[in-house]
A and B are shown apart, each in its own frame.
Chain A
């Protein structure tokens, strides 16, 4: 049934956008972490999204009544390679011989903008889901 495909596509986006929000939360939580994985300062993480594998071919075959695909998936969570921030704080236990501490390359403003973007995308997909639900319910009205 075609409309369940629509629900599944929107659901894949909800999963992806929720992960983006989780990663933003992780970045914000670790904005001051100087001892991350491997003893190195924390590096900002970013979610890479991609169209769900072969979704175009899958939706083509779906049009012919076969297995369907579509939607979005997370290709990976990658570290942001931009340089760490050097902050002068000689009293910090992780300061180098010149008194500089390497702080995470997390910019709070960027994270907040990403958060809002992910939130709005989430809402748009919820709306699409509600539309699919209503369309399905209306089609059932034909039986009455």
Chain B
């Protein structure tokens, strides 16, 4: 098999970071919406449980779906009941972008190794 589970997990991580970016962007977009409850995507947890399936990891990774969920644990940070802290969301957004970049770079390097093995460059 050309692409192993690690490569597949990396691809899904890139997708998960994209989904998480959407959720965090939605939080920032609603920074001034009264009573808004922040959403988040726990793609780490989803991927970890899929990878932990051992032999079935490949199928589990293919079936993984990243769904945004309301963050009920977040307390209100504003008088209007909103749970969006703009600074915290911005920090999460920046961290998520870096995680995305890391996953892309590792995936890119692994593709480079394959290319080298095939004698087509890199």
Contact = CB atoms under 8 A, between A and B. Distances in A.
A117 B80 CA distance: 15
B29 A70 contact: yes
A103 interface: no
Contacts of B31: 13, 121, 124
Q: Is the interface of A mostly helix, strand, loop or mixed?
A: helix
Interface string A1-24: 011011001101100110010000
B42 interface: no
Given A59-B39, A63-B65, A138-B100, A125 B21 contact: no
A72 B26 CA distance: 8
Given A128-B93, A135-B18, A12 B29 contact: yes
B23 interface: yes
Given A59-B39, A63-B65, A17 B22 contact: no
Contacts of B6: none
Range, interface on chain A: 35 or more
Nearest to A120: B86
A124 B15 CA distance: 23
Interface residues of B, number: 37
Given A63-B66, A64-B65, A139 B104 contact: yes
A124 B28 contact: yes
B32 interface: yes
Contact of A17 (B25, B32, B39, B67): B32
Interface stretch (A34-42, A48-56, A78-86, A93-101): A48-56
Contacts of B89: 124
A125 B34 CA distance: 17
B101 A135 contact: yes
A63 B67 contact: yes
14 contacts: A2-B19, A3-B22, A6-B18, A10-B25, A13-B28, A13-B31, A16-B32, A51-B33, A71-B25, A71-B29, A72-B30, A125-B28, A131-B97, A142-B108
Interface of A: 2-3, 5-6, 9-10, 12-13, 16-17, 20, 49-51, 55-56, 59-60, 62-64, 68, 70-72, 117-118, 120-121, 124-125, 127-129, 131-132, 134-135, 138-139, 141-142, 144
Given A125-B28, A135-B18, 18 more contacts: A10-B25, A12-B29, A49-B32, A60-B68, A62-B22, A63-B67, A64-B65, A72-B30, A72-B32, A121-B32, A121-B86, A125-B25, A125-B29, A128-B29, A139-B14, A142-B104, A142-B108, A142-B111
